[in-house]
Chain A
């Protein structure tokens, strides 16, 4: 069968850099081909080269791209416009930026229809409605007249897909289509993409860094590293036994359930692509590299259907499975470090001329938790559920509306905030915005010590180099500015900054979500080592359940400002009881095939905390909702071992469990 898309020896350059260097692959109709790799490996540039939409300064140096019988690179720009959107379409990562905020959804889809299918008026409207229906947008007729800002992230991404489909393309390029979305929404969108591909017999080029997404969606997989394709094979073979050392390390860097050991990390970073590369590009980071790897770039080798570019193809030692150790029992005796009761953060909504308060956004509504010294509590939930607000309210970065916070037995008020700040610090999500670009690293680390008067002034400089060593940065790092560091190194600096005042509790707000898998593993290992060495307690705020499984002792699941389930990590993650937790767990794309349990797909989006549903907040999306759920917010139902849920359905099924208050 002729392939739908055939790319041969594609080379794309930016000045002297070759960001895509000799990439060849084929995509057949009705097939999903996944391009996998870390950021900076040239995945997106490959896609943009196919569309001939390279940013300024980029140009295709050589190679050929054939879409069915058309030579895409030879087309004049006028004909290329018909190919874009008409024969191959692209979905971008950020649905916020890809839709025009001042044009109604229907008109934006209509534009594509008018261009590629010459449809107008009522015919265009009907087709647009049909498209929205097919991508699973509820109430499609009404949505045609909505503006993008009225839609949630998941709906926007669906509208994007509908627009891409308007020209009935043969090939759909999806560039990280779900990276910006929550897991439950990601599962919905990926379902839509899978169904559409099957219905329309489209070819799909899926670009992602997420092995889980690849496992659930791809038919064939290509792994990219530093502008080159290094491995290519069918999905099942790839997941059964990746051949390239880079692919293997990507797998090993991934935190997996019940895995207490250290994660494998890939040392170093992707080399700069400035044409001075000799030999295998992965050699500097490869544990198996030998002399030949540094001198000679490996060619393609085939091993039972899998193709790989490695001198050691087929000779690598069998993949060593990591030891699956249970969490080592903590050496520190359990004593509650942080106790929170009835924490509420309400943001007033002001309207009108005199700014009258007309309502409250209940971002955090009656949250209670306790963390023991040297242990980790993970706070899990989708974006907008208030988990970051909890973290900031604990540090009084946002003044809580109500609630009692006790740290080490001492109740924290606005007056003794300095005590709090000595003992609790925060690590932020985005290492690029959490370091002041105009301050040297040493000054960044000194800031907290100076402000809180930690240690004698003369010894602080020594403390800085000690801190840098502790987080694994070179000694001379202190004199440099943040822009000289990579994302992972910046996150290390941010961790060092928090540690500078020797806190006992560190609040980590999604510290790895902006990082690549291999770097994430380094940071997680570091956090774990620090916990073992210094006896730190972590409040780990995240939406990434795999990380939770790796790091947390206890888990609290938040939905719309309230904790709906809490308990020991093993209990909550292995046997989730709340329907929301169950849905969350089953929505996570997994590398391993799902165990027998049915996959629960949530419909709809999280409601706005401005106007939460009456009764149980989760009932509009809950498959088990009953009449009582719509009226009364459920009480805690204890399940033993400190595990509790707030759910009428669970309480009804376990009448023997006593109700706690």
Chain B
């Protein structure tokens, strides 16, 4: 075999989570009352557009979670040796981005470095901006720079448009066949928005993403679209790799939060009395310690533990991964209080409802009342909390990494990108593209997550009930 699969801890949890989500989807599809609100979500144009964007991010994150180590070219077949570098399927797909490394900073789409160096030109040594190794290397003359970018962008857009039209045609044909209508009729229904689902928005968002993607691919093959960083790495590549980190923080943390929040919240609300008192004291105390302080202390402890046990980790990636997981744990342990409080209040209300009283009149056990009567009726709150918390956690990672207590400094993350850009912002002329790229990616992800969360909340919140 020319590679050895590597399964990091976070990979395991991500795929466990994915399996969990798929089981949940299957379960929801079989229960009409669970399906109904999701249908509402699917009818909201904003939510569906956001879901598509999220889908692209998740796909990149998942591809980036399939890790492997390549076999070294000179190792013997019977005793294979593998590279210490852990790569992912995503790395393989965008191999060019990863390997085309420059010397140091270069601006987006530039063909020269951002710093002057001594270069040999016509036999004399002059101090000038040297040409990049990869960015714009195919150009012989600087005059061709602008037209070449424009040409590549246009070709990319055209390719994106072509793919988009093709997909749209296929969709129209399939839908027309499925509903047994003429394709023209379907197109007319589509254009006037008379289909049962927000087809216009979905098609437009998809087309927009294809156009952008086409242009990016065309440009990235010849340039560094977002420039390069201090050590000459492509900023677009770093930003794309950071997606996985953001998603891991946003999702795995909730895995830690949920059992704590659901268990403590429902127990406090349902049992009341001393159970309630104890749980309330716990989360009041937890809430009164500044969160960043607690996280910083915990992260430092983990860091010391990792450094004193280097033999546990065979690669640097495994070390960074454990630190990421530890961060998720710590964030989870400190952020369950809000949801727990919400669930406590709701359980307090539910326990007095007549159907719970009726169950008690039958002598149904507490565990059964909680699992059959309380939990299914607070589940919508849990769901709303998950999607709302996601964006907050992505942002929290950025802030913590900026402060220096976040993920491992060697890990690709938006927080580390911002941290790295911090000093360079002060220099003249400014290196703005690292910060800019991190901002664009984070903004897109968080905005999409928030728009989707809005749709979910509107569909699940009973108070929004009759209004659409």
Q: Which residues of A contact B (CB under 8 A)?
A: 56, 392, 395, 397, 417-418, 421, 425-426, 428-430, 433-439, 444, 447-448, 451-452, 481, 483, 494, 497-498, 501
Contacts and interface: CB of A to CB of B under 8 A. Distances in A.
A417 B377 contact: no
**Most A Cβ at <10 Å: residue of B32, B358, B360:** B358
Contact of A438 (B353, B362, B376): B376
B364 interface: yes
Nearest to A418: B363
B69 interface: no
Interface stretch (B57-65, B203-211, B296-304, B365-373): B365-373
Contacts of B357: 392, 397, 426, 428, 434
5 contacts: A428-B357, A433-B354, A444-B355, A451-B364, A481-B32
A35 B421 CA distance: 72
A439 B32 CA distance: 11
Nearest to B355: A436
B360 A397 contact: yes
B355 A426 contact: no
Which 7 residue pairs of A and B lie closest in terms of their CB atoms, listed nearest first?
A434-B354, A428-B354, A448-B362, A438-B376, A451-B364, A451-B362, A436-B355
Contact of A435 (B32, B355, B365): B355
Contact of A395 (B355, B361, B377, B467): B361
A451 B377 contact: no
Contacts of B8: none
Contacts of A452: 362-363
Contacts of A435: 355
A437 B379 CA distance: 13
B354 A430 contact: yes
B121 interface: no
A392 to B, nearest CB: 7
B358 A497 contact: yes
A397 B353 CA distance: 12
Contacts of B30: none
Contacts of B363: 417-418, 421, 451-452
Contact of B372 (A56, A421, A439, A481): A439
Contacts of B381: none
A436 B372 contact: yes
A412 to B, nearest CB: 13
A482 to B, nearest CB: 9
B32, B353, B368, B467 interface centre (most CB from chain A within 10 Å): B353
Given A426-B361, A451-B362, A437 B377 contact: yes
B358 A434 contact: yes
Contacts, number: 65
Nearest to A453: B363
B354 A447 contact: no
B178 interface: no
B361 A447 contact: no
A434 B362 CA distance: 14
Interface of B: 32-33, 353-355, 357-365, 368, 372-373, 376-377, 467
Contacts of A417: 363
Given A429-B354, A481-B32, 4 more contacts: A426-B358, A434-B353, A436-B372, A447-B364
B368 A434 contact: no
B361 A436 contact: no
Contacts of B364: 447-448, 451
A452 B363 CA distance: 7
B353 A56 contact: no
Contacts of B365: 451
Contacts of B32: 481
Given A433-B355, A438-B33, A451-B368, A397 B373 contact: no
B361 to A, nearest CB: 5
A382 B358 CA distance: 23
Given A421-B363, A433-B354, A481-B33, A438 B467 contact: no
A397 B361 contact: yes
A343 B291 CA distance: 52
A425 B363 CA distance: 11
Contacts of A444: 355
Nearest to B32: A481
Contact of A421 (B353, B362, B377, B467): B362
B222 to A, nearest CB: 54
Contact of A501 (B354, B359, B362, B373): B362
Nearest to A438: B376
Nearest to B372: A439
B202 to A, nearest CB: 25
Nearest to A454: B362
Contacts of B377: 436-438
A425 B377 CA distance: 24
A425 B359 CA distance: 10
A281 B368 CA distance: 46
A436 B358 CA distance: 10
Nearest to B373: A436
Given A426-B357, A434-B355, A447 B467 contact: no
A384 to B, nearest CB: 17
Contacts of A392: 357
Contacts of A498: 358
B282 to A, nearest CB: 19
A425 B358 CA distance: 8
Nearest to B376: A438
Contacts of A430: 354
A198 B358 CA distance: 49
Most A Cβ at <10 Å: residue of B355, B359, B362: B362
B374 to A, nearest CB: 10
A428 B362 contact: no
A426 B359 CA distance: 10
Contacts of B360: 397
A501 B377 CA distance: 25
A395 B362 CA distance: 10
Contacts of A438: 33, 376-377
B129 to A, nearest CB: 62
A523 to B, nearest CB: 16
Q: Which of B355, B361, B363, B364 has the most CB of A within 10 A?
A: B361
Contacts of A494: 358
